[in-house]
Amino acid sequence: MTQDDSFSPQERAAIYRCIAERRDVRRNFLPRPVPDDVLARVLAAGHAAPSVGFLQPWNFIVIRAAATKEALHGAFTRANAQAAAMFEGERAALYRSLKLEGLKEAPLLLCITCERERAGPVVLGRTHQSEMDIYSTVCAVQNIWLAARAENLGVGWVSILSPADLHAILAIPDHIVPIALLCVGYVDHFEHKPDLEQAGWRQRLVLDDLVFAERFGAPAAQ
Amino acid sequence: MTQDDSFSPQERAAIYRCIAERRDVRRNFLPRPVPDDVLARVLAAGHAAPSVGFLQPWNFIVIRAAATKEALHGAFTRANAQAAAMFEGERAALYRSLKLEGLKEAPLLLCITCERERAGPVVLGRTHQSEMDIYSTVCAVQNIWLAARAENLGVGWVSILSPADLHAILAIPDHIVPIALLCVGYVDHFEHKPDLEQAGWRQRLVLDDLVFAERFGAPAAQ
């Protein structure tokens, strides 16, 4: 490896720090707007994601209008009422106590979509795993999330909306797949742990239990 | 935002550098093994990914045995012959000239899977977008990819295999979804551009053309 290629220990530490301190943020947003140059860098990080067959199937819808946020919040509210009814007893009470979106408070929302037919029906690398273009788009979402954290911007992925509502509110054509709706903005602080861990919804799993050697289910020798 | 939370300009630059210089690597792998502590850090980065309902639906299969690599390479070869036949004329010739996997040369392969029923049928955040657990797992893949780049490890996502072959070769139960097969290893250098861009397979799209304001298709004012 040439010297130019390598990351220094300091750079590496910054990258690991970003990965560890990224949070799914749905509260504590500040009204401070996201400057255009910051947004441009974050979107460029998304556009630098890997994509199957170099398809770059994504689009980025930037939402700032209060009316659009209201409409999306309405869609969330409808879906969340249905969702809450799927849990029972203490879980239902805990579910209802959680803040699961920041659609109205965040200064900016981003919707990331996938155009599956951008290069016609046959795509290099998608021939045997048809979801690969969707996965590429998710990689772009994760790049955006990490870049935003590096910019000290909180990001929350809001998935409790019906895709039909996303299509209708954002005028997304039928052949385009909405992948992620993110609320984005500066926050007064980042939590140390995921909100759902802190609330006792589920515990952090032990990594060693999740690693196998050679075959699924075969414990890795440590 | 408290001082503790913020990333310095130097840290931010490291993160953007990693995002920009990550490549999809299928050649130039060195035989040098990946140390266990490096692999542990990379897997921990995957485990730090966001997950819907804090489900952490992933497992990581670490493959080092030559026989397993051979079997996966055989599955690739079969699928790739079918894939090549889907392209015509000059595209078919170009397709056949591309190196699309490094399954035998890479010292390490990783298969990342998704267990959809890890927390029962009803998952917070998956009630209205059923693929969210799959997307969480893809976020783990992207974290692994970026952490590996920070460790100066090349990673290539090999998707030209049938999922049935992955299930059979890696003993993946029917209810577990294989998401990604990665070849991982040190490389003698990283390319400046994606291989498929360099080969003229497709061009880099212009980011501004991909950004919309408020609604799909509405150009963003720049």
In a domain, A7, yes or no: no
Of B131, B160, B217, the CB nearest to A127: B160
Quick: pLDDT tens for A67-108.
999 999 999 999 999 999 999 999 999 999 999 999 999 999
B63 in contact with chain A, both atoms CB, cutoff 8 A: yes
Quick: pLDDT tens for B186-205.
999 999 999 999 999 999 99
Residue A209 CB: number of other CB atoms within 10 A? 10
In a domain, A8, yes or no: no
CATH number of the domain bearing residue A155: 3.40.109.10
Residue of A nearest to B162 (CA): A128
Q: How confident is the model at residue B1 (pLDDT cuts 50, 70, 90)?
A: very low
A55 in contact with chain B, both atoms CB, cutoff 8 A: yes
Count CB pairs under 8 A between chains A and B. Answer: 306
* Nearest chain B Cα distance for residue A105, angstroms: 16
Question: DSSP string spanning B74-111?
Answer: HHHHHHHHHHHTTS-HHHHHHHHHS----TTTSSEEEE
Is A216 in contact with B59 (Cβ distance < 8 A)? yes
- Unique residue bearing structure tokens 């979801």: A131
Assembly ipTM = 0.97
Nearest CA-CA partner of B59 in B110, B135, B126 = B110
HSE-up (13 A, CA, CB side) for residue A187: 24
* Nearest chain B Cα distance for residue A184, angstroms: 14
* Count of domains forming chain A: 1
Is A68 in contact with B214 (Cβ distance < 8 A)? yes
In a domain, B11, yes or no: no
Predicted TM-score (pTM) of this structure? 0.98
Q: How confident is the model at residue B221 (pLDDT cuts 50, 70, 90)?
A: low
In a domain, A111, yes or no: yes
In a domain, A14, yes or no: no
In a domain, A197, yes or no: yes
Find chain B residues with C-beta within 8 A of A216's C-beta: 59, 61, 113, 170-173, 176
Is B129 in contact with A161 (Cβ distance < 8 A)? yes
In a domain, A16, yes or no: no
B210 in contact with chain A, both atoms CB, cutoff 8 A: yes
Nearest CA-CA partner of A122 in A174, A41, A53 = A53
Residue B222: the pLDDT is 54
CA angle, residues A198, A137, B105, in degrees to nearest 5: 100
Residue B87's domain comprises: 23-210
In a domain, A195, yes or no: yes
A22 in contact with chain B, both atoms CB, cutoff 8 A: yes
The span from the first CA to the last CA of chain A, in angstroms, equals 28
pLDDT for residue A1 is more than 70: no
Nearest CA-CA partner of B139 in A61, A127, A49 = A49
Q: Where are the beta strands (DSSP E) in A81-160?
A: 108-115, 153-157
